[in-house]
Amino acid sequence: MSIDPEKLDRLAEVAVRTGVNLQPGQDLIITAPMAALELVQRITVQAYKAGAGLVMPFFNDEVITLARYEHGHDHSFDRAPGWFYEGLGKAFKDGAARIAITGDDPMLLSEQDPEKVARASKATSIAAKPAMEPIVGFEVNWNIVAYPGAAWASRVYPDLPVEEAQSKLMDAIYDASRLAGDDPVKNWEQHSANLQVRVDWLNDMNFEALHYTGPGTDLRLGLAEGHIWKGGASPALNGVVCQPNIPTEEVFTCPHAYKVEGTVAATKPLAHQGNVIENIAVRFEAGKIVEATATKGEDVLNALLKTDDGASRIGEVALVPHCSPISQSGTLFYNTLFDENASCHIALGQCYADTIKGGSELKPEELQQLGGNQSLIHVDWMMGSDAVDIDGIKKDGTIVPVMRAGEWA
C-alpha cells in the first residue's frame, strides 16, 4: 500500500473530532472523489464512534466528469442538478454537518474547451446556492480535508512513480495538517490559540484599510464596515465549534467590495477548474478589477471575472506569514486548500457573512451596503511573499506595520 493507513486514520479522527467536531446524534454528509473511498470509510468509522446519526457519502469521479466534456451534447453544459443541491441544502437546514474531501486531479479539465468549462461552472454555481448558503453563512459545522489522489500526486511530484508520489503527498498532507506527535487534537487546540492571538490584535486595531506594497503590488484594500477578523476554530451558528479548513494558517476578514484601489500581482499560480493560471496581474478601481492579465490561462481568468457582477470584486482577505509550514515546504500543491495557506491571499467573489458583525442575520443587500460582496463564485489566489509588506491604516490615518517581508511585524 502506497499510503500509510495509520496516517489516514489520524486524518480521519482529526477531521471528525477537531475539523467538523461532530455532535452525538448529528447526521454527516461527506462529498469526495471516488479515489478517496479509503479515507471516506475511515471518516465514517470515526463518525459513528462519535455518535453520528447517519453518515451519507456522495462521490464524484474523474472518468465520469471527463465523459461529459468528451461526449456530452452542447446543451449539457448549461445544466446542473438543482434537485441534488436542494436536498443537500435541506439536510444542512435540518442540522447535518458536512465534510468535503479534496483530492482530484487539479488539471483534469486543462485540455477541455474553456468556454464549456466556464458554462458548466456557472450552471453549477447557480444550482448549488441552496447547499452553499448554509456553508458560506456558517450555519452548520463543516470541514475540508485532503486525500492524496494518484493524479493529484503525480501533478505535485511529476518525476516520481505514482505510488511513491502518493506516499510523499500523504506525508506532506500529514505534516501540513499537524497530525504528528502524541495528540493531534491537542496540536490543533494550541494552533487555534496561536491564531486567536493574531485575530484579537487585528480586531483591537480595527483598521479601516490595509496597504500592500511589493513587486507589481501597490494596493489599498478597504475593509467592510463592522468587519471581524477570524481564524482557527470558531463556533458555527448552531453553536458547534469547528475547524473548517485542515490545514489552515490564515486569519481572514471581509474587505469592502467598493473600496479597493491599485495593482496587485499574484505570487503563486492559481489552479482553477482544471486549468493553471500563471502570473496574474490586476488593477482595481473603486473595488472592481478593470484590467486583468496572466501569462498563462488569461482566457480562463477573464471568463471567471465575467461570471456575474460580483466576480470582479473581492469577498475575502487573508493574512498568512511566509514562515508557515506549507510555505516553507517549497511545494506547489495546485490545490487552494494548501496553496492559500502558504501565502497572504484574496478571494474573488462571495464574502463570508460571519466576517461582518451580525452579518449572518442580514439579507444579501444589507451585507452589500456594508461592503460585503455578493457573487456565485469564491476563488482564492495568492499575493503574499517574503517581498511583500503590509500596513494597517486606522480611521484617523495612523499607519501601523502589520507585516514586513512576509512576516508578522
Q: Which CA distances in Å does 262 have to 3, 72, 282, 288?
A: 46, 42, 8, 10
Over residues 327-333, the mean pLDDT reads 90
Is the pLDDT confidence value at 1 over 70? Answer: no
pLDDT digits (tens, 9 = 90+) for 231-240: 999 999 999 9
Q: Which CA distances in Å does 106 have to 9, 62, 274?
A: 24, 11, 5
Give the pLDDT band (50/70/90) at residue 19.
Answer: very high
Cα separation, 149 vs 59, in Å, equals 14
CB neighbour list of residue 388: distance below 8 Å, 6 or more residues apart = 212, 213, 214, 217, 267, 344, 403, 405, 406
Cα separation, 100 vs 52, in Å, equals 16
Model pLDDT, residue 273: 77
Domains of the chain: 5-176 (3.40.1830.10), 207-408 (no CATH)
In the chain, the percentage of residues whose pLDDT exceeds 90 is 90
Model pLDDT, residue 155: 94
pLDDT digits (tens, 9 = 90+) for 340-355: 899 999 999 999 999 9
Is the pLDDT confidence value at 154 over 80? Answer: yes
Model pLDDT, residue 368: 94
Over residues 268-275, the mean pLDDT reads 85
Q: Are 254 and 223 in contact (CB under 8 A)?
A: yes
Model pLDDT, residue 272: 86
Model pLDDT, residue 403: 97
Cα separation, 39 vs 214, in Å, equals 41
Give the pLDDT band (50/70/90) at residue 137.
Answer: confident
pLDDT digits (tens, 9 = 90+) for 205-253: 999 999 999 999 999 999 999 999 999 999 999 999 999 999 999 999 9
pLDDT digits (tens, 9 = 90+) for 156-201: 999 999 999 999 999 999 999 999 999 999 999 999 999 999 999 9
DSSP state of 348: E
Is the pLDDT confidence value at 113 over 80? Answer: yes
Model pLDDT, residue 406: 95
CB neighbour list of residue 100: distance below 8 Å, 6 or more residues apart = 30, 31, 32, 142, 143, 144, 145
* pTM of the shown model: 0.89
pLDDT digits (tens, 9 = 90+) for 48-91: 999 999 999 999 999 999 999 999 999 999 999 999 999 999 99
